[in-house]
Amino acid sequence: MVCVSEELSAPKPPPLAFAAACAALGLPADQVLMVGDNPKTDIDGALAAGLHAAYISRDAVVERPGWGNRVRQLSRT
């Protein structure tokens, strides 16, 4: 399932936005992976809310404490 932030009840990066996504998925935060391209709103916000997070970027890796995942490409199969 994909949750789009503009369709949630709160904007990112506050934890309420991520809680709304988890509720829509019916999952606790520690079972949800946020994949995003914005270090502050997507990654830092998700980690602060207790989610797992993966930064998607074709550019150089941005090293930040707590980051352990990076996605370089998405494709449809």
Per-residue pLDDT, 56: 80
Per-residue pLDDT, 64: 64
Whole-structure pTM value: 0.73
Among candidates 38, 39, 35, 47, which has minimal Cα distance to 73? 35
| CATH class entry, domain 9-71 | alpha beta
Low-confidence ranges of the chain (pLDDT < 70): 58-77
Domain boundaries, the chain: 9-71
Per-residue pLDDT, 18: 92
Reading phi first (left if > 0) and then psi (alpha if -120 to 50, else beta), residue 26 is in left
